[in-house]
Structure formats: C-alpha cells, structure tokens
Structure 1
Amino acid sequence: MLVFDASSIIYAWDNYPVEQFPGLWDWIGDQIDRNLIQIPSVAYTEIAHPSPDCAAWLETRSLIRIAMTNNILLDALRIKILLHIVDDKYGAGVGENDLFIIATARAHRAILVSDERMQPDLPKLMPNYKIPAVCKMEGVNVECINFLEFIKRSGAVF
C-alpha cells in the first residue's frame, strides 16, 4: 500500500493533466479502486483549496481516506519530540499535518509518496526538516518516494 501526501497528488495533477495523460489517470484511478493508494484524511483536506479540479476527480473514485487514530496521534507526538519541536513552534520544515501523514504511513507500514523537496544538506535545526528528511530519521524509518519514483517503480507503461 502507498500513502499519498497532498503534495504528490497536486504535483501529478498539475504536471500530468488528465486531458493529456488519460492513461496515467485511468491507471491511478485503478490503483485507488484497488485500495493500493490511500490518503490520510488530513492530507485530503489540503487538496481542495489549491486544486479543486483534482479534488473533484478524487471524489469520483473510491479513495480511502485514512482517519486519525489515537495511535497515529501519539506517534505524531513522538516524532514531534524527536524533532525537538516545542509547543507549536514549528520551523521551516514539517508542520503538524505532515507529522500526522508520516505517522499514518508508519502505522500502516506503507510507503509514503511525497513531493516535498529533498534536503541533501540537512538543516542544523531539526524543526526545519522536510518530510523526506523526517522519514529517514532513526526512530521514524518510513520509506518516502516522490511521484516520479512511484511511476518508475510501478513499471507501468502509458
């Protein structure tokens, strides 16, 4: 199973328009219908404002929106502590929803698909880590790939 961040769905929608890549979107729809692609409920809510057309397309699919559970919330808090984020003083890195998304992927032992930028040189302050860097942290250990890597790994031809 793959857990998608809003950034990847929006990236795909913006860069691979359904009118020009209908085969890709038919395939993504099939992956959704087979429950191979799911999305945390907090990520789903981040799609509608910047990309209402994408949200409307997703509404036509049987996309599972993963609800927050106490275990996911507790794991997000644990990751927040690992990042030395005190109270709600998030830095330039992950935000609260990002922690929920990462914790959701951990809870489901899923690969996280996120198009947040990689940070080859990690910031000195951990609150400035983006999703891919947090996923690589000891104690988090979530495999995180971007949308293009997701397509390459699938082996699908369109």
Structure 2
Amino acid sequence: MDFFTLANLSYLVSAALFIFGLKRLQSPATARSGNFMAAAGMTIAIVVTLLETNFANWQMILVGGIIGALIGSISARAVQMTAMPQMVGIFNGFGGGASALVAISEFLRYLGDPGVAMPAESGVSIILGTLIGAVTFSGSMVAFAKLQNLM
C-alpha cells in the first residue's frame, strides 16, 4: 500500500472518529470517551498532514502542542462547569484569531517577494481566511464578554 492510499485511509478514520466523538458528547456518561475519540481523530489528521507535506520543523509543533495542552488542561481544571460556555467562547475566539493571523502571514509572505505573483486561489483563501477568522474572533469575544457579564 502506498503512502497516498494510507494517508487517505487515515483521513477517513480521522473523520469517523470526529463524527463518533461528537455523537458521544451528547450524553454525560459517554462524553469523556467522545472527547478522547475526537482528540484521537485530530491527532491522526495532524500527524498525517505533517508527514504528507514533509514538514521539517517538528520541534515547533511539539512545543506549540505542549503549550496548548498545558493551557487547556489548567483551564479545564480551574474553570467551574457553570463557566464552561465562556471558556469555549474564548478558546473558539483564539482559534479564529489564529486563522486570521495565518492568512495575514501568508499575504505578507507574498508581499515580501515581489518576484512571485499571488495565484488567484491563494488570494481568495487569504481574504476568506482573514475575514472568517476575524469575524469568529470578534464574535467569540463579544459572546465571552456577554456571558461573563462584562457587556
């Protein structure tokens, strides 16, 4: 079996784990295993994507993953259950903000190299990534502030 086929099968398994993980989040009795299934699906998708693209900077990914896991673990233990919607809102906002920053950095990469023309599909992706990421960030911050009674 070649790597392309194995990668596609891994993506299929990853998607199935996401779907079944979300389904198991419906009940408090199965939520823990659903969360584990979704995390396993995400891990598979990330590893296969990095292997597929011949990513060379594994140290950066590991450090970022460790920092994110520490922040998430500490937050999940410190925040009371009644404040979980606020935590979900702020983490969702951080994801949207990160998406916007990635799109902006890609734009700056093209801007910094005048010899390289930006393909139209990259321009559309950059615009949509920036717009959707910024709207997600701002909307999630407003939701967090309202849930926290700051607004």
Does the TM-score normalized on the shorter chain lie above 0.5?
no
Q: Which has the higher strand share?
A: 1
The two structures have a TM-score, normalised by structure 1, of 0.27
Higher relative contact order (CA 8 A, sep 6+): 1
Q: Which has the higher helix share?
A: 2
The two structures have a TM-score, normalised by structure 2, of 0.28
